[in-house]
Amino acid sequence: MGLAADLDYTHHSANPLHRLVRWGAGTRPGGWLFAHSLRHLDDVVGRLTRGRHSAPSLLAGLAVLDVTTTGRKSGQRRTSHLIATPYAGTLALLGTNFSQPSTPAWVLNLEADPQATVTYRGVFREVVARAATAGETDEVFALAGEFYPGYLSYRERVGTSRRIRAFVLEPTV
């Protein structure tokens, strides 16, 4: 078995509302809106549902993985709610930041310390994140674009202004 199977992490087909939200989040204004509000909205949804749901799961039908890293400056544990891509039996992450100009903090944290914990529906695993190769990054983007086309829009908009990092998560034994 692999990490994706261990966590039973999959994305399901989208209903019309989910498709609309996925499309909207992939646009430039939608990306900006979600980049600036999703974390706060996600906190509210998590509290109201006692952790059973997240904003992306309700609004877009996307599975959300909690990734806990160690802050590169503070040394504090930081948890980010991310959409992972099932890849080669494991999971991969894309640091798109909704195509915003800055690289997400969790990416910089993983680069400084690749040890992390992932949690999905109450099941957690210790992982090591490794930088994906250029070929793997292309494969992950293609797979991610199948369930959330916004990733392809983000990659196109970012272009060469910054490098979108991709990570492959490997469970520690």
Quote the tokens at residue 2.
């692999």
Q: What is the DSSP letter of 13?
A: P
CATH of span 3-171: 2.30.110.10
Query: Quick one: what percent of the chain has pLDDT higher than 90?
Result: 48
Query: Is residue 111 predicted with pLDDT exceeding 90?
Result: yes
What ranges do the domains of the chain cover? 3-171
Quote the pLDDT of residue 1. 65
- pLDDT tens digit sequence for 148-157: 888 988 898 8
Show contacts of 94-97: CB within 8 Å, 24+ apart: 94/140, 94/141, 94/144, 94/151, 94/164, 94/165, 94/166, 95/164, 95/165, 95/166, 95/167, 96/151, 96/154, 96/155, 96/158, 96/164, 97/35
- pLDDT tens digit sequence for 67-95: 999 999 999 999 998 999 999 999 999 99
Quote the tokens at residue 6.
């261990």
pLDDT, average across residues 96-114: 92
- pLDDT tens digit sequence for 34-50: 888 888 888 888 888 87
For residue 54, the one-letter residue type is S
